Amino acid sequence: MEDFKTKFQCLKNKVADKVNKSKALITTGVLLGTASIANAAIDVDQATGTVSGELELAPFFSGAKVILVALASIIVIRWVMNLIRRG
């Protein structure tokens, strides 16, 4: 019974670590997203309530490029490893 409790506690700790990592990644994503919103040069006319301005998309596209390159490299590495395994 003691062995089961030890294994359960170990599993519980691993799950808690994964949850904490997920929360950290989500928080980082939200912070980066709001930082890119700060690059917007938007003006609101108080009298009419009209919104005008531009949104700078360069930070968003550079982040998207990094993510796409990372995913592509993971796919290529897995493909090469499967080719090596098959011989």
- Low-confidence stretches of the chain (pLDDT beneath 50): none
Length of the chain: 87
What is the pLDDT, as a whole number, of residue 39? 60
CB–CB of 37/56 below 8 Å?
A: no
What is the pLDDT, as a whole number, of residue 62? 83
- Residue 32 to residue 82: CA distance in whole angstroms: 35
- Residue 62 to residue 59: CA distance in whole angstroms: 5
Tokens 């592509």 — which residue?
72
What is the pLDDT, as a whole number, of residue 83? 92
